[in-house]
Structure 1
Amino acid sequence: MDLGTSWLQLYSEYEGTEKNINYFISDLKEREEKDIFDDMNLENVKWMKNNIKDIKVQLKSKILYEMNGISVEDIEKIKLTDQQKKIAILKINHSTKEVAEILNLTPSTIHKTFNRAINKILKYKRDKLNILSPQEKSVYFLYQEGKTRSEIAKELDTTPGSVCNRMYRIRKKLGRLSKTSKIE
């Protein structure tokens, strides 16, 4: 993965691509004069849209891995409904089926509610990371990949002391991070 590129950034790019595809589909459908190529393009674009949706689902799970899961602290800070909070907290350690049994709800309800909560959590995480400078983001993402301060310094052509200072600023801006987070 390129320096500075994260699953979250890729997700945002795919989200933008999906919007552009929707505009393209809308334009194709509204054309008064259509030819055979328009029909072929429409079929191809619909196929691409379905693939993008599948990729976005996969990227969501990668984001959660990259962010080292969801902490209870994060869940408490985000404006979730009470049911979304309960489900999100339970989903940290339980499967959808187990959460459904615990709360006496259908797995479908758990899945839909958890997806709404995830979208809010992802927005919160994305906004949280946007307060970092480009240099801090570079350090953050490299550290999330498991690199040491020395490795980060070498890759960014800087000193370990500079990396340490950036990590301090990252912690200061992001607040206390969960214990599962790489930046402690």
Structure 2
Amino acid sequence: MGMSVIISAATAQDVEQIFRLQYLCFQREAELYDNYRIDPLVQTLDAVRGEVADDLVFVARLGDEVVGSVRGFTDPDGTGQIGKLCVHPRLQGHGLGTRLLNAAEAALAADRAATRFRLHTGHRSESNLRLYRRAGYAQVGDATGTDGVRLILLEKEAAAQEFVASA
């Protein structure tokens, strides 16, 4: 490839690339559920702009191109909520999802005092479930999203992040 992928905090200048990447990446999920109304596909550009301004958002950059992203925020109970993890289809399977997840966990623990992490994925999203289980997440329940997709809820303690980051 010639260039290294760099993980960094997103900036306001990244919003449009994040928005387009999210739309591209979540097409596969929409197809899997035969549901093109899933949240990442109907989210507005202004909503993404607000998340970049208010939440912890990280991007994977290949040169000037945003090729991955993840978002996180901390609930009032100290739980770091992680979501919309995506990696450009041409770069999937090279560890970028894990690197983005680690960046979100580290920042939520250090900057927002998260004591545990929570995320969700669709029940048919086997590759996502494998990634999260490898990262130490365990299923704690399920729910139905506003779009009708059955979601698997996963959590892990923030202290477990230290071991993931050093691996």
**Does the TM-score normalized on the shorter chain lie above 0.5?**
no
Select the structure of larger CA radius of gyration. Answer: 1
| TM-score (norm: length of structure 2) | 0.27
**What TM-score do you get using the length of structure 1 for normalisation?**
0.26
- 1 or 2, which has the higher strand percentage? 2
